Structure 1
Amino acid sequence: MTKLELFALTFTVIVAFSAVSAYKTTIVTTIVEDNGLVPPLLDGLDNPQEQCRSQIQSQQLDHCQMHLTQGIQNPRRPFQREQQHLQQCCSQLNQVNPECQCDAIRQVFNEARRQGGQRAISQIASKAQRLPNDCGLEVQHCPL
């Protein structure tokens, strides 16, 4: 009887082993090379809003503000001058990281709104909302 039990045990182990070995595991690894450079946006700041605020403060966005308030403070200003401010504004916005561009537009909008007063808010808002499209920014729409 022991031989029969030993045979049954051996047979069970062989069946169990073949069932377990039928499964195949594949491990995929990805190697990312680090060039040692820290992106300027991530330099010491953890909060994305802080990162944007810091970057926007370091940028000069005065042409964007002039573009938004143009025609409100001085309606007779030449069209060529308006286009010049728009082009320089776009250049300034393109220097801001794409994830911070809406924050930059909102900041410029708020400053222009303070300068232009409540009566001109719809014109300023309209110009601000067109900036992503007019400047060909990665961001398509920025809620003000």
Structure 2
Amino acid sequence: MGKISLVAALLLCLLAFASANTCIDNTDNPPSCQEQMQSQRLNHCRMYLSRNLQYYGDKLGMVTDNDEINPPIEVCRQHCCQELRDIDTRCRCPALLRMVMQEPGTQGQEAEPMLGKARYLPRICNIQPTQCDF
């Protein structure tokens, strides 16, 4: 009985040591989607969608065609695709959804045009997933 208790105690110590190392060494853990969404604002994606929508009004302002202030739409698309590539595959759609919902004037039905375009941004960028379901 004493040997079994000793073996059990050793196993518990090994298990505790292994789990302690796992908790301490989190360099292999990728950042959470929340952390990625906070660090990656998707500003170029926002600009690309806004310019692509052709929507004029108070709720979603259309940017002007002044290249000194705003880059051409193709440049916005390229930068947007890079922003999306910098986000983990599993986080891309939630990040796009959050970006659209944080855009001023995109609440309720007003969000539909932008959501419709954002849904296919991964396909336009040739990355996975090819379409977002939101």
What RMSD in Å do the two structures reach over aligned CA positions?
Answer: 2.9
Higher deviation after alignment, 131-140 or 80-89: 80-89
Gaps of 5+ in 1: 1-35, 43-50
- Which residue of 50, 68, 72 corresponds with 2:49? 68
State the Cα distance separating 1:74 from its structure 2 match.
2.4
Once the two structures are superposed, what CA deviation does each residue of 1:81-131 show, in whole Å capped at 9, x if it has no partner?
A: 22211111110010001111111111112123x345667533212210110
- Which residue of 113, 117, 122 corresponds with 1:132? 122
Q: How many residues align?
A: 100
Could you say if the C-alpha distance between residues 75 and 95 of structure 1 is closer, same or farther in structure 2, counting changes exceeding 3 Å? closer
Contact 1:109/1:124 (<8 A) preserved: yes
Could you say if the C-alpha distance between residues 88 and 141 of structure 1 is closer, same or farther in structure 2, counting changes exceeding 3 Å? same
- SS, match of residue 120 in structure 2: helix
- SS, match of residue 85 in structure 1: helix
4+ long deviations beyond 4 Å: 116-120
Could you say if the C-alpha distance between residues 82 and 115 of structure 1 is closer, same or farther in structure 2, counting changes exceeding 3 Å? farther
Q: Which amino acid letter does the alignment assign opposite residue 104 of structure 1?
A: A
Whichever of the two has the greater Rg, that structure is 1
Once the two structures are superposed, what CA deviation does each residue of 1:1-50 show, in whole Å capped at 9, x if it has no partner?
A: xxxxxxxxxxxxxxxxxxxxxxxxxxxxxxxxxxx8833515xxxxxxxx
- Which residue of 61, 66, 84 corresponds with 1:93? 84
State the Cα distance separating 1:60 from its structure 2 match.
3.3
Matching residue of 1:9:
none
Could you say if the C-alpha distance between residues 121 and 37 of structure 1 is closer, same or farther in structure 2, counting changes exceeding 3 Å? closer
Q: Does 1:53 align with 2:34?
A: yes
Gaps of 5+ in 2: 1-24, 56-60
Contact 1:61/1:93 (<8 A) preserved: yes
Contact 1:68/1:128 (<8 A) preserved: yes
Once residues 66 and 40 of structure 1 are traced to their aligned partners in structure 2, the CA distance between those partners, rounded to angstroms, is 31
Could you say if the C-alpha distance between residues 77 and 40 of structure 1 is closer, same or farther in structure 2, counting changes exceeding 3 Å? farther
Once residues 132 and 66 of structure 1 are traced to their aligned partners in structure 2, the CA distance between those partners, rounded to angstroms, is 16
Q: TM-score, normalised by structure 1?
A: 0.57
Matching residue of 1:28:
none
